[in-house]
């Protein structure tokens, strides 16, 4: 399998979709009809939230472009990535018992985040094994944009760990 050369084309969409979906899944597991609630909410995210984020990325890229960039390509790749990940989670809830679907979504979601960290490590030519084990890298960076990115990753990781904790309580 050929590795994508530029993870920036889909990394925002994959991260955002994964964390949003896991948050919705574990937030709705305690509702009266969790399977229908989760599937319905994920479908709304697949369309409405996805369009909002994709449009936001498109406008941001258009407003900050210093050279001719293909902003449409970034917008479309973000939309397709988010839509595909969300529909994967919908399919798991549609065809698996709810506890297995929640566990599968957690494993797949964390796998996506680790894989993205690995791709970024490959692109930056850093230690990919170290980066994939610890997606935050060195949190004591002096570069503010890197610190902000790592702080965002830390927030996403905390949400994912909270989701795992909720899953453990739900299954027990």
| 76 falls within a domain | yes
| 2 falls within a domain | no
Q: Does 139 have pLDDT greater than 50?
A: no
Please list, in sequence order, all residues whose beta carbon lies within 8 angstroms of the beta carbon of residue 41, skipping any fewer than 6 positions away: 24, 28
**Short-list 26, 32, 50, 42, CA closest to 106:** 26
Q: Does 78 have pLDDT greater than 90?
A: no
> How many structural domains comprise the chain?
1
| 74 falls within a domain | yes
pLDDT higher for 135 or 71? Answer: 71
pLDDT given at position 2: 62
**Short-list 162, 164, 4, 161, CA closest to 81:** 4
| 1 falls within a domain | no
Please, which pLDDT band fits residue 90 given cuts at 50, 70 and 90? very high
Alpha helices, DSSP H, located in 9-97: 11-28, 34-44, 50-64, 71-95
Q: Cα 91 from chain centroid? A: 17
Q: Does 89 have pLDDT greater than 90?
A: yes
- Distance in angstroms (rounded) separating the CA atoms of residues 48 and 18: 15
CB 89, CB 105: distance < 8 Å: yes
Average pLDDT, the chain: 75
Burial of 9 (0-12, 13-18, 19+ CB in 10 A): middle
Angle at 79 between CA 77 and CA 72, to 5 degrees: 55
Please, which pLDDT band fits residue 169 given cuts at 50, 70 and 90? low
Tokens matching residue 154: 């830390």
| 50 falls within a domain | yes
| 17 falls within a domain | yes
pLDDT given at position 3: 60
- Distance in angstroms (rounded) separating the CA atoms of residues 33 and 4: 39
Please give the helix or strand (H or E) that residue 100 lies within, else none: helix 98-124
Q: Does 73 have pLDDT greater than 70?
A: yes
Lowest mean pLDDT: which of 53-62, 91-100, 139-148? 139-148
Domain span at residue 61 reads 7-171
Lowest mean pLDDT: which of 14-18, 45-49, 142-146, 160-164? 142-146
């Amino acid at each position: 399998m050929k590795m994508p050369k530029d993870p920036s084309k889909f990394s925002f969409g994959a991260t955002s979709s994964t964390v949003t979906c896991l948050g919705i899944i574990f937030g709705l597991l305690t509702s009266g009809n969790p399977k229908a609630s989760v599937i319905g909410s994920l479908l709304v995210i697949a369309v409405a939230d996805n369009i909002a984020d994709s449009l936001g990325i498109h406008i941001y890229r258009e407003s900050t472009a210093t050279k001719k960039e293909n902003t449409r390509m970034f917008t479309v790749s973000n939309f397709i990535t988010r839509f595909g990940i969300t529909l994967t989670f919908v399919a798991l809830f549609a065809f698996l018992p709810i506890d297995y679907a929640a566990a599968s979504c957690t494993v797949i979601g964390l796998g996506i985040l680790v894989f993205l960290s690995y791709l970024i490590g490959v692109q930056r030519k850093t230690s990919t094994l170290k980066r994939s084990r610890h997606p935050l890298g060195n949190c004591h960076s002096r570069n503010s944009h890197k610190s902000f990115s790592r702080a965002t990753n830390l927030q996403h990781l905390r949400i994912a760990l909270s989701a795992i904790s909720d899953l453990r309580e739900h299954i027990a």
